[in-house]
């Protein structure tokens, strides 16, 4: 491996690749301004990031959100990148501009796609691939079907983490290069940190597989165990920097709804073997097991890779199979392994194995680039060998055969025209260039990246890239509190959004009354509901909230009709507002406790009569401790912050202790004290914090969210940062005397 003599030129090339990807996305936005505005982005990602931006503007670390009980623990949800410097910086900067919801989503995704393309380019250049072929790798890495159709337009956490995957790969290979300095273990640390904190457990698992593969490759080539110590140390430092993120995930996933997910989820979204021709023509439509585990016809847009990778790899194997296999045998092994993983059921808290496809696309692109680089130095043969070893001719042949098979087998799907014809035309141009120009070296300087970009562009212009996920027309007025009261805590009862509120059936802007998912965070409305895949809070499990924030109709009706009284479960939690969608006919009971405040086209809003309930209340008894009675404390000057609550508390002397209930979701990690006296924080059946205060106590109560994983993880992260900075300073000092 040759060490780059001018890394700045490679960095400029990476910036160029990122700019090409950004320009590509702007073309797609011109074609569809709502491209990045789908499903999770609407109900979860964007409203949460609006709250993250609000939190930073208030001077608080966005650990908790006061605007959702189900999705109240942002750090525990992991997917929001709470501890990622890059994610938070991007959110803060983007939210400074007066952008609409779809524009904010686009800006956030494009920023990460830019970074992803840069990483793909540098990864390829680190392997001594030419600049044109490195650009091709960058395009496939950032614009492949899975990233565009799922990561960039729906599951942002996947993109937030995978944006740093090629960077981590590039840095791990640098750490294994023995011709670099002894400080080379520093390279992986920042990129592993950014990947882990990006917010997608699957990408962390991909990193583990990659690290194991690189270690085995190094051991196989050097026969020395000492060769992998820089990689292992770099990984350890990176995981140390990100310790608060993964420790929080481990803490809250235990006992959560995600841990108890249905086993059928492991058999959903597997890559079926009959779908493999979609690497050539992504409109190839066969049955996949969807979110309901039903085999349904699915257009495999997530397998789009720009045509060049599979063709180039096949051409390279046909022209010089043994030589190419010897050269990329490790990459081919990894390619086969990841393909198999994407086709078999997942396990544990992981689900939907097709999420391995981004990793597969990167390996595919690297193998193809190696094949093209080898072909550019070979003389072409004659006859059939000349055709199969010529990428352009082979592309024309395979695309034509695949298109014919598609129509013969009736798997062309709803996008049978004009996409296949466009790809056949581009393949014909590629074939013509192969035969008209005298040497492959001249032909394929920029043919591969240009064709890759054009085929990918045709793919997304001809085939809608949202893969059929739900789409909603959320009202921009969601950033305002009206018609709801920001001082009250609401329960919203509405049907599953993915069935009741799709754009096709509800084209007009909506959402200001119901606040589906986590959209309450936009306007600062306090809501029990929230969008949470993990659902770690007690109220999420107790009330059986679904992922999209809705509550089962029978459960919702039971709560508002049987638990709405002054001594009911809702009152104990502090719920003093109920929103009932017009799809439901019920209303809160008893009538003496509730009044209709607002009625809109979406639903009815009921308020508990009188003033809003206090967030800290002293109770004489509680169901979870049925045989005990408590004194009533005097509570005043309540300050209900994001990660902290304060109140003046006076408990009568010569009597019983007082029991305070705190109207916020309970999570392990709360610490309470009055003055310097610590108090134990318990929970009411895991729903909300309760604090018992001895008789005669008088002072300022402070309740702070300071979980063990934040303290312990923060100490680990700070220690690793100090070590990295010290090593980096020493490396800089010794740099003139060393070669790396």
Give the start-to-end residue ranges of the domains of the chain: 7-31+73-255+276-312+327-462, 476-608, 616-706
Return the pLDDT at 258: 60
What's the whole-number mean pLDDT along residues 113-134?
95
β-bridge mates for residue 607, sequence order: 577, 595
Cα distance between residue 582 and residue 561, in whole Å: 16
Residue 590 makes CB contacts below 8 A (sequence gap 6+) with 564, 565
Nearest to 489 by CA among 577, 361, 588, 579: 577
Tens of pLDDT, residues 556-583? 888 999 999 988 999 999 999 999 999 8
Residue 739 pLDDT more than 70?
no
Binned at pLDDT 50, 70 and 90, residue 257 comes out as low
Percentage helix, strand, coil, to 5, in the chain?
50, 10, 35
Residue 437 pLDDT more than 70?
no
- Compute the chain's Rg from CA coordinates: 29
Tens of pLDDT, residues 132-178? 999 999 999 999 999 999 999 999 999 999 999 999 999 999 999 88
Cα distance between residue 432 and residue 442, in whole Å: 14
The tokens for 519 are 């959209």
Return the pLDDT at 293: 83
Average pLDDT, the chain: 90
Nearest to 443 by CA among 485, 368, 392: 392
Let me know: does 677 contact 723? Beta carbons within 8 Å: no
Return the pLDDT at 710: 95
Query: What is the DSSP annotation of 548-560?
Result: TS-B-HHHHHHHH
Binned at pLDDT 50, 70 and 90, residue 82 comes out as very high
Tens of pLDDT, residues 702-732? 999 999 999 999 999 999 999 999 999 988 8
Cα distance between residue 198 and residue 200, in whole Å: 6
Residue 266 pLDDT more than 90?
no
Cα distance between residue 719 and residue 738, in whole Å: 27
Let me know: does 518 contact 540? Beta carbons within 8 Å: no
Residue 4 pLDDT more than 60?
no
Let me know: does 552 contact 542? Beta carbons within 8 Å: no
Cα distance between residue 212 and residue 121, in whole Å: 23
What's the whole-number mean pLDDT along residues 35-62?
94
Question: What is the percent of the chain with per-residue pLDDT over 70, rounded to a whole number?
Answer: 94
Let me know: does 24 contact 453? Beta carbons within 8 Å: yes
Return the pLDDT at 361: 97
Cα distance between residue 480 and residue 55, in whole Å: 17
Distances in whole angstroms, Cα of residue 365 to Cα of each of 134, 424, 452: 9, 21, 10
Return the pLDDT at 732: 87
Residue 358 pLDDT more than 70?
yes
Tens of pLDDT, residues 8-32? 888 999 999 999 999 999 999 999 9
Q: Which residue in the block uniquely carries the two structure tokens 């920023």?
A: 111
The tally of CA atoms less than 13 A away on the side-chain side of residue 161 is: 28
What's the whole-number mean pLDDT along residues 734-740?
56
Return the pLDDT at 19: 97
What's the whole-number mean pLDDT along residues 520-539?
90
Q: Which residue in the block uniquely carries the two structure tokens 């970009």?
A: 453
DSSP code at position 510: B
Tens of pLDDT, residues 619-637? 998 888 888 899 999 999 9
Binned at pLDDT 50, 70 and 90, residue 256 comes out as low
Query: What is the DSSP annotation of 319-365?
Result: HHHHHHHHHHHHHHHHHHHHHHHHHS---TT---GGGGHHHHHHHHH
The tokens for 336 are 């086969």
Residue 565, helix vs strand vs coil: coil
Query: What is the DSSP annotation of 459-497?
Result: HHHHS-TTTT-----B-GGGGS-TTS-TTSEEEEE---H
Tell me the whole-structure pTM to 2 decimals. 0.93
Residue 389 pLDDT more than 70?
no
Tens of pLDDT, residues 673-711? 998 899 999 998 889 999 999 998 999 999 999 999 999
Tens of pLDDT, residues 277-320? 999 999 999 999 888 888 899 999 999 999 999 999 998 888 87
**What class is the 616-706 domain?**
mainly beta
């Amino acid at each position: 491996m040759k060490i780059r003599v001018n890394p700045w030129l490679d960095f400029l090339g990476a910036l160029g690749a990122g700019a090409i990807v950004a320009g590509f996305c702007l073309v797609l936005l011109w074609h569809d301004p709502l491209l990045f505005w789908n499903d999770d982005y609407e109900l979860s990602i964007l409203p949460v990031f609006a709250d993250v931006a609000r939190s930073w503007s208030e001077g608080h670390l966005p650990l908790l959100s006061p605007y959702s009980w189900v999705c109240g623990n942002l750090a525990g949800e992991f997917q929001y990148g709470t501890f990622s410097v890059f994610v938070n910086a991007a959110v803060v900067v983007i939210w400074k501009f007066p952008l609409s919801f779809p524009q904010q989503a686009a800006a956030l995704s494009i920023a990460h796609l830019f970074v992803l393309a840069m990483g793909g380019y540098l990864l390829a250049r680190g392997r001594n691939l030419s600049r044109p072929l490195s650009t091709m790798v960058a395009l496939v890495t950032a614009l492949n079907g899975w990233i565009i159709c799922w990561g960039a337009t729906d599951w942002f956490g996947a993109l937030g983490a995978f944006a740093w995957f090629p960077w981590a790969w590039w840095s791990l290979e640098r750490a294994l290069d023995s011709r670099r300095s002894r400080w080379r273990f520093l390279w992986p640390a920042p990129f592993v940190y950014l990947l882990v904190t990006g917010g997608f457990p699957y990408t962390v698992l991909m990193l583990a597989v990659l690290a194991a593969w690189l270690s085995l490759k190094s051991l196989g080539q050097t026969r020395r165990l000492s060769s992998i110590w820089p990689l292992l140390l770099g990984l350890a430092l990176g995981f140390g920097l990100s310790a608060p993120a993964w420790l929080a995930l481990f803490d809250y996933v235990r006992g959560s709804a995600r841990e108890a997910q249905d086993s059928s989820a492991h058999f959903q979204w597997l890559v079926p073997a009959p779908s493999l021709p979609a690497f050539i023509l992504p409109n190839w439509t066969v049955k996949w097991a969807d979110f309901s585990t039903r085999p349904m016809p699915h257009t495999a847009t997530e397998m789009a890779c720009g045509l060049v990778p599979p063709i180039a790899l096949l051409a390279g194997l046909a022209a010089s199979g043994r030589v190419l296999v010897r050269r990329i045998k490790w990459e081919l092994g990894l390619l086969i392994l990841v393909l198999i993983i994407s086709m078999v059921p997942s396990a544990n808290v992981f689900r939907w194995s097709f999420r391995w496809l981004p990793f597969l696309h990167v390996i595919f692109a690297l193998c193809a680039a190696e094949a093209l680089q080898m072909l550019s130095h070979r003389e072409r043969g004659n006859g059939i060998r000349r055709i199969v070893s010529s990428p352009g001719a082979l592309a024309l042949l395979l695309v034509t055969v695949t298109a014919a098979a598609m129509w013969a087998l009736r798997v062309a799907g709803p996008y049978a025209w004009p996409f296949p014809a466009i790809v056949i035309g581009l393949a014909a141009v590629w074939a013509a260039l192969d035969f008209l120009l005298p040497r492959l070296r001249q032909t394929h300087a920029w043919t591969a990246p240009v064709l890759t970009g054009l085929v990918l562009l045709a793919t997304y212009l001809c085939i809608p890239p949202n893969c059929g996920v739900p789409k909603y027309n959320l009202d921009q007025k969601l950033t305002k509190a009206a018609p709801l009261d920001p001082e009250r805590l609401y329960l919203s009862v509405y049907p599953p959004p993915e069935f009741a509120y799709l754009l096709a059936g509800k084209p007009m802007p909506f959402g200001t009354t119901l606040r589906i998912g986590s959209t309450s965070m936009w306007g600062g409305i306090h809501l029990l509901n929230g969008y949470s895949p993990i659902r770690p809070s007690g109220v999420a499990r107790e009330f059986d909230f679904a992922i999209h924030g809705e509550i089962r109709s029978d459960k919702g009706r039971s709560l508002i009709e049987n638990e709405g009284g002054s001594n009911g479960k809702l009152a104990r939690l502090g719920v003093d507002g109920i929103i009932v969608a017009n799809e439901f006919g019920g209303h809160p009971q008893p009538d003496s406790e509730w009044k209709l405040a607002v009625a809109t086209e979406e639903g009815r809003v009921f308020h508990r009569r009188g003033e809003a309930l206090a967030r800290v209340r002293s109770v004489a008894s509680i169901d979870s401790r049925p045989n005990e009675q408590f004194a009533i404390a005097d509570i005043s000057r309540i300050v209900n912050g994001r990660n902290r609550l304060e109140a003046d508390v006076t408990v009568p002397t010569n009597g019983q202790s007082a029991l305070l209930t705190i109207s916020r979701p309970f999570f392990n990690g709360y610490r309470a004290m009055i003055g310097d006296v610590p108090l134990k924080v318990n929970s009411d059946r895991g729903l909300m914090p309760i604090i018992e205060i001895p008789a005669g106590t008088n002072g300022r109560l402070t309740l702070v969210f300071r979980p063990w994983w934040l303290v312990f993880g923060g100490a680990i992260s700070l220690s690793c940062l100090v070590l990295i900075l010290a090593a980096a300073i020493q490396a800089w000092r010794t740099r003139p005397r060393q070669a790396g």
